[in-house]
């Protein structure tokens, strides 16, 4: 736990990229933030040494580091194996609050009627495909960028016709249809009640509209928001790209970024 003197130190957004390991908690988005964007979700490459680096930073922050992603926790584990971290998957629908604990999902399986509708819609466009994450479905159009303008309203209409409990979240060349109840902000709030995270100032790092709920939660808890690649609304600091995030983490692990 942070000392009371350290906790009382005023938070300075200019230092947001240099968080004190004793008083801060880190929440890291994955695609576009820790790893570079690839043409297909299965084509991403985790740079050599990144998993070890995350483990080192986590240890330095007393375990107060979590991955907060739109991917499933199982997929995150596969990407960063053998590292296992506290993690939120599918935009907060899956939660592993403690690295040694189970993955909890309070969400029902995705409604079949909506799944079928999204599948049929995706098949109408060359290069568009669905990614089934059990509790959410992502409709990817990176290989068919022009399809986005048509897909967006059609997906919104399908979700509205379904009528309850689901929302469309636009992301990086993707429309995510997910339960309305959870987002990256609810995930941050849940982590901040855990012993490893409680009393710390959260710093949320992300690159996308889907991270904005995480930014808002971090700021609402007295912390900071860091966007990657572009300035998203209400962030304190912008880092240039995922490479800059990895450099920043290396500084935190080495203890030179204080
Ligand atoms: O919340 P994140 O960790 O940033 O995950 C967001 C989504 O990432 C993946 O899709 C995105 O990255 C792919 C690989 O770079 C890219 O091909 C795709 O266009 C992006 O949308 C993942 O497939 C989704 O499930 C995540 O929700």
pLDDT of residue 5: 39
Tell which of 155, 179, 203 closes a domain: 179
Q: Are residues 156 and 117 in the same domain?
A: yes
pLDDT of residue 18: 73
* pTM for the structure as a whole: 0.93
pLDDT at 1 over 70: no
Complex ipTM over 0.90: yes
Q: Are residues 119 and 192 in the same domain?
A: no
- Ligand 1 pocket, mutate which of 172, 178, 241 (most atoms under 8 A from CB): 172
Q: Are residues 158 and 199 in the same domain?
A: no
Residue 97, CA distances (Å) to 6, 28, 237, 250 in order: 25, 14, 27, 24
Question: 1 or 170: whose pLDDT is higher?
Answer: 170
Q: Are residues 20 and 77 in the same domain?
A: yes
As a whole number, mean pLDDT of residues 205-232 equals: 96
pLDDT of residue 258: 44
Q: Could you tell me if 135 and 110 are in contact, meaning their C-beta atoms sit under 8 angstroms apart?
A: yes
- Ligand 1 pocket, mutate which of 31, 91, 172 (most atoms under 8 A from CB): 31
Q: Are residues 24 and 82 in the same domain?
A: yes
Lowest model confidence (mean pLDDT) among 70-79, 96-105, 106-115, 177-186: 106-115
pLDDT of residue 198: 98
Residue 257's pLDDT band (cuts 50, 70, 90) = low
Q: Are residues 142 and 209 in the same domain?
A: no
pLDDT at 4 over 80: no
* Parent domain of 77: 4-106+182-254
pLDDT in tens, 116-164: 999 999 999 999 999 999 999 999 999 999 999 999 999 999 999 998 8
User: What residues are in contact with ligand 1 under a 6 Å CB criterion?
Assistant: 29-32, 37-41, 44, 69-71, 131, 138, 140, 142, 171-174, 176, 208, 210
Tell which of 160, 179, 198 closes a domain: 179
Q: Are residues 205 and 94 in the same domain?
A: yes
DSSP conformation letters of the chain? ---HHHHHSPP-GGGTTS--TTTEEEEE--BTTTB---SSGGG--PPTTHHHHHHHHHHHTTT-EEEE-SS-HHHHHHHHTT----EEEGGGTEEE-STTSPPEE-PPPPPHHHHHHHHHHHHTSTT-EEEE-SS-EEEE-TT-GGGHHHHHHHHHHHHHHH-SSEEEEEETTEEEEEETT--HHHHHHHHTTSTTTTTSEEEEEE-SGGGHHHHHHHHHTT-EEEEESS--TT-SEEESSHHHHHHHHHHHHHT---
Q: Are residues 97 and 131 in the same domain?
A: no
Q: Are residues 189 and 146 in the same domain?
A: no
**CA-proximal residue: ligand 1, atom 15 (nearest):** 37
Tell which of 120, 147, 179 closes a domain: 179
Q: Are residues 161 and 136 in the same domain?
A: yes
As a whole number, mean pLDDT of residues 59-69 equals: 98
pLDDT in tens, 6-21: 433 344 444 556 789 9
β-strands 237-239, 224-228: how paired?
parallel
What the block records as the tokens of 84 is: 């296992």
As a whole number, mean pLDDT of residues 172-190 equals: 96
Considering its fold, how many domains does the chain have in total?
Answer: 2
pLDDT of residue 106: 73
**CATH number of the domain where residue 42 is located:** 3.40.50.1000
**CATH number of the domain where residue 147 is located:** 3.30.70
Q: Write down the mean pLDDT value for the chain.
A: 92
Cross-strand partners of 90? none
Q: How far is the CA of 104 from the centre of ligand 1 (A)?
A: 21
């Amino acid at each position: 736990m942070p000392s009371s003197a350290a906790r009382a130190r005023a938070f300075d957004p200019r230092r947001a990229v240099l968080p004190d390991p004793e008083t801060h908690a880190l929440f890291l988005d994955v695609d576009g933030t820790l790893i570079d964007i690839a043409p297909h979700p299965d084509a991403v490459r985790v740079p050599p040494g990144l998993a070890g680096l995350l483990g080192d930073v986590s240890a330095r922050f007393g375990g107060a580091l979590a991955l907060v992603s739109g991917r499933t926790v199982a997929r995150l584990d596969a990407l960063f194996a053998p590292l296992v971290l506290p993690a939120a998957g599918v935009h907060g629908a899956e939660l592993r609050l403690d690295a040694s604990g189970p993955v909890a999902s309070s969400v029902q399986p995705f409604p079949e009627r909506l799944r079928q509708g999204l599948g049929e819609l995706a098949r109408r466009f060359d290069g568009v495909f669905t990614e089934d994450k059990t509790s959410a479905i992502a409709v990817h159009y990176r290989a068919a960028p022009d399809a986005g303008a048509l897909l967006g309203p059609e997906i919104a209409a399908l979700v509205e016709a379904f009528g309850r409990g689901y929302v469309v979240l636009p992301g990086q060349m993707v429309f995510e249809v997910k339960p309305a109840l959870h987002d990256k902000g609810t995930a941050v709030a849940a982590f901040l009640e855990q012993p490893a995270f409680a009393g710390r100032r959260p710093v949320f790092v992300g690159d996308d509209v889907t991270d904005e709920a995480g930014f808002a939660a971090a700021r609402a808890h007295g912390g900071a928001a860091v966007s990657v690649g572009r300035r998203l609304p209400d962030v304190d600091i912008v880092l240039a790209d995922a490479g800059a995030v990895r450099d920043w983490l290396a500084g935190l692990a080495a203890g030179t970024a204080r």
